[in-house]
A = this chain, B = another copy of it.
Amino acid sequence: MAYADDLEAVNARLMEVADLAGSAMFMATQSLLNADNDLAQGVIAQDERIDILAAEIEERCVELISIHHPTDRELRILIGSLRIAASLERMGDLASHVAKQARMRFPNPVVPQELRSTFEEMGALAQAIVTKTAEVIATKDLTLATDIAGHDEDVDRLHLELFRVVLSPTWQHGVESAIDITLLSRYYERYADHAVSVTRRLITIVTGDPYVGVSLT
């Protein structure tokens, strides 16, 4: 019973990190679209906190495996949790990459006017994905996994669309901007992949089925 409390505490920390990884990408998108350097700095600073929290969760999981002799189900939860912590940590990194791109070009905007709506959509999808991922962590309600996978496909679609735009003969913003857009788009795309990876780990935790890796593009 004390062990159940420990597992619950680990899960609460995972929710906290998921929230932070979510707010990081939200603020990163805002800093990108509004060329807001202070906000970008905030995201980059917050990433350290995410790294520390994620590392603490990982250590705690190993400690709990070490001091108890977990049942197979408990072990699945603990191994799954340390994996999830690693993915959330990486999502924080990717939000930080977006913010660094905004900071690098400040005070100039990174995203050309005609691509603003695409990046708004990317940001909104990232938000929907991470909010639902946090909810699955909290509730273990796997029905949201389908939504998350759908949002991930939408992100992939936007990612390909952005490639088409920067490679089109009508692209007028030069090589530097094309590279900025490509890298930014990849950061969102990888962020969404990691969220899908988290939900697959949660499926494994809940069902006991083996983990199915995310097909990484």
- Mark A residues whose CB is within 8 Å of B: 51, 55, 58-59, 62, 65-66, 69-70, 72, 75-76, 79, 82-83, 86, 89, 93, 163, 166-167, 171, 174-176, 178-179, 182-183, 186, 210-211, 213, 216
A75 and B59 CA atoms in complex are apart in Å by 12
- Counting every copy of the chain, the complex holds 2
Are B178's CB and A179's CB within 8 A? yes
B55 touches A213 (CB 8 A): yes
Q: Would B183 and A59 count as touching, CB distance under 8 A? A: no
Of B65, B66, B89, B171, the residue contacting A175 (CB under 8 A) is B171
State A58–B76 Cα separation when bound (angstroms).
Answer: 12
Further contacts, 12 of them, CB under 8 A, given A59-B210, A62-B75, A65-B75: A62-B79, A65-B79, A66-B75, A83-B86, A166-B175, A166-B179, A167-B175, A175-B175, A175-B178, A178-B178, A178-B179, A179-B182
Distance, CA A173 to CA B76, complexed state (A): 51
The prevalent SS among residues of A at the interface is helix
Residues of chain B with a CB closer than 8 A to A55's CB: 210-211, 213
Whole-angstrom CA separation of A150 from B17 in the bound complex = 32
Kindly report which residue of chain B lies nearest to residue A76, judged by CB atoms.
B62
Contacts of A167 in B (CB 8 A): 175-176, 179
Offer 21 A-B interface pairs, CB within 8 angstroms, sorted by A.
A51-B213, A58-B211, A59-B210, A62-B76, A62-B79, A65-B65, A79-B82, A83-B86, A89-B213, A93-B216, A166-B175, A166-B179, A167-B175, A167-B176, A167-B179, A174-B175, A175-B175, A175-B178, A178-B179, A182-B182, A183-B186
